[in-house]
Structure 1
C-alpha cells in the first residue's frame, strides 16, 4: 500500500502534468501569415508556453520571433523567441524594460503579420508599464500594499489595470492592424480571460472610480498624483481582441488529479476550482467537511480525496514566513487536531508558495504528535503567519522548484478511514 505522502504527491504531480502547455497548441494554430509571426508574452508559465509554441509552429513549417517575460528562475530553452526574467510579485525595472520592448514590438506589426500572445498568471507584475504620470515606485508601493491587504486576486487585477499602460486590452490596441491570437493558462476563478494577467490583449472598459474604491476599501494610501493618473487612464474597451484559446485551467488540473485518484482506488470529490477567502478560514471550513466525511460518510464515503483549487488570501498580521497554501494547511491541521485517517497537501502549482522556496506543504495523522515532541506551538505559528517555519521544522515542506506552469492552488485532503 502506498504511503499517504506518496499518494498526495502523485495526485499533485498529475495536476501539474495536466497544467503544462506541451502538446496543447496542436489543432489550435492559425494559418501561417504572409508576413512575420511575432510572439509576445508574460507570466510564470510563459517561457514554457513559448517553447511549446515554437515546437508546434515549426511542425507546420512556420518561423517566429519575439519576446516573453517570466519570473526569475522560470525560464525555458527556446530557439528564436527571447526569454527575459523579472521580479514577481512586486515589479522591478527588468519587468518595466521588458514591457516597453513588448509594446514596441506590438506596434511594429503590420496588416500581413501575425501576433501571438502567451499569457499566464503572474503577467500582472511581470508586464509592468506604468500609466502616464506614474513611476515604477508608485506601482511597487501599491502592489506591496495590496499583497498585505488580503484583497482577492480579481480586485488586485482591477487596480493593476488602472495603473497600467499595457494591461486591460491596451496591448491589443497596439497590435492593430495585425491578426492577434492569444493563448492563456488560467490561474483565476471562472477562467475569465480579462482577469488572467490583467488581460493585456482582452479589451475591457476600465473604470477608474472602481479601482480607487478598492484602494479606499483596504485603507491603502493613494497620493493625489496617483489618483489623478488613474482617473486619466480609462480604457474604452472597444478594441478588437482577436482569437483566444485556453490551454490549461484549474479545473483541468483537478480533473487529472481525480482520474489519478480513481486509478489508486480512491473516490474523488471536486469541491470547486475557484475557492477564495482567508486561507485560515478556508482551512477551518475544509476541516468541517472532513469531519462530516469521517462521521457520516457525507458528502462522500471513504476512502476518498477532497480536491479543490482557487486562490485564498492572507491578511498579514504577523512577521513570520508564510504562503497562503502553508497557512491554509496549518489551519486545517490545527482544526483536525489528532483526528486519525486524514492526510492533506496544499501547493501553488507554479512551485512557489508566496515568496518562499516551497510549493507548499503536507501533513498526516502524525503531525500533532511530532509537533508536541519538538515542543512546537502550532497555534502560535498560525497567529504570526509563520506556517513555513512550522512545516519546515516538521520536515513537511513540498519543494519542487519552478514548475513552469500556473493554474493556481491545488488542495487535496485524503480520508482513508
Structure 2
C-alpha cells in the first residue's frame, strides 16, 4: 500500500505543479509591460504567487495582491494583503476598497492587469449599498452549508458586490483591462471564476433571488432591497465600460488532470473535469464504478487509474442550536462515500485532494482511502458510519494516518481525484 500511496501522491503533485503561477503565467505575458501606467491587481489563493510571476518578467510593478491568510509569498514591489476565506472579513473589505480606488485612478492610456484565481469571491468583499460585512458573511455561511453549487453561490455574490460581476473593470474604464485567470470552477466560465470582477455578468438579480429561494436562505432587508432594485444590476455584455477588456485562461482543471494522466504508469482514464453533486454520493457512485472495473463488468479494464476533477458539495445538517455540524471537506466526504462501497474488494486505492491544499474548513488537502479503510476505522473505535454521521472525515483520516497535508500550494484548479484499481 505504501508504494500505491506514493504513486497517487506523485500524480497529485504533478497535477498541482502543472498549474503553478510561475510556470503558466510568464509565457502568457507580453515580454514587456504595456506603455502608460500599469497597475497589477491580483486576487485569490494564487494571487501573491501570480503577482510574483509578473515581476519575474516585468520587474517591480505597482499594484496589490489580495490572498488568503498564510498564502502570501515575497514580491518585489507589489503589496501583498492577506484576508479570510471562505467567510469574508474586514481585511478583505478594506483591501477591496483600495483595489477599487486603484482601478478608478487609471486613465485612457493606462492598463489594469487583473490576475484572478479561486477564492477571489470571498476575499474580494466590498458589499453594495447598506449591506454590512457581517450580513454578507452570514449569507456566505448559509450558502456554504446549503449545498449550493459554486455557480449558484457566485450568482448571488456578484449581485451583492461593488467589485464583482464586471464592476472592477467598469471602475477602471477607460483604461484597458487585461485579465489572466487560473480556473477553479466546473466549466471554466469567466463570470464564475472569482465571481467575474472583470467580465460581463450573464445572470440577473432574479437569478440571485431564485438561488436564495431554492435553498430557503433568509436574507436581511438590506440584501433583499439590493436584489430588487434595478439600479444595482450588474454590467452586461453590451456595457461600453467593458469594451476594452481581454480575458485569458492560463490554467484549468482539465490541464492539470491531463498532466497527471500523461505521467501515469498505468492505463489512465479521465472521467471528467467538472463533476458536481453531493460529495459522499459521488464517492459512492465512483466506488461502485471501481468495483465494476475490478470485477470485469466495465468498459475499463484493470489495472488502471480513473481520474476526475470538479467541485462537489457538502450539505451540512443544522444542529438544534441552529449551527452546523462537522467541518465539511468535500474530498474527505467523497472518500468516505467511496470507502463504504469498496470495502473488502482487495486492490482498490484512492486519493482525493483540493489542489489549493485546503479541503473544507481544514488546512488539509485531502486523504487516501482503500479497500481496508472501513475495517481499519472500526478497529480504531471510530467506525466509518459514525464519522459520516458527524461529517468528520478529517477526524477519521487523521486517526488512520491517511491525511494529505501539503500546506498552501499557491494555485487552485479545483479537486483532484484518482482511483487505482489493480488486476
With the shorter chain as reference, the TM-score category is over 0.9
Report if the CA contact (8 A) 2:257-2:308 is conserved: yes
SS in 2 for 1:302: coil
Q: 2:262 aligns with which of 253, 259, 262?
A: 259
Residue 42 of structure 2: aligned partner? 41
Return the match for 2:328 from 302, 322, 333. 322
TM (norm. structure 2) is 0.94
For 2:28 and 2:4, how far apart are their aligned partners in 1? Answer: 39
Q: Does 1:377 align with 2:383?
A: yes
Structural mapping, 1:7-406, within 5 Å: 7-30=7-30, 32-58=33-59, 63-232=60-229, 233-237=232-236, 238=239, 239-240=242-243, 242-261=245-264, 264=265, 266-296=266-296, 298-317=298-317, 319-406=325-412
TM-score computed with the length of structure 1 as normaliser: 0.95
| TM-aligned CA deviation for residue 205 of structure 1 | 4.4
Give the 3-state SS of the residue equivalent to 1:301 in structure 2.
coil
Paired residues of 2:378 and 2:384 also in contact (CA < 8 A): no
Partners of 1:275 and 1:312 within 8 A in 2: yes
Q: Alignment length, in residue pairs?
A: 410
Write out per-residue CA displacement over residues 170-199 of structure 1, whole angstroms, 9 at most, x where no aligned residue.
001011111110000000111111110000
1-structure distance, mates of 2:299, 2:10: 24
Native 8 Å contact 1:309 1:408 kept in 2: yes
Q: Deviations over 1:8-38 (max 9, x none)?
A: 1001000000111113234432463332210
Q: Is the 8 A contact 2:26 2:53 kept in 1?
A: no
Between the aligned partners of 1:84 and 1:415, the Cα distance in structure 2 is 44
Alpha-carbon distance between aligned partners in 2 of 1:109 and 1:9, rounded to the nearest angstrom:
45
CA RMSD between the two structures: 1.5
Show CA shifts across 1:152-178 (max 9, x none): 000000000011011000001011111
Contact residue 36 and residue 64 of structure 1 kept, 8 A: no
> How far off its partner does 1:211 sit?
0.5
Q: List gaps (5 residues or longer) in structure 2.
A: 318-323
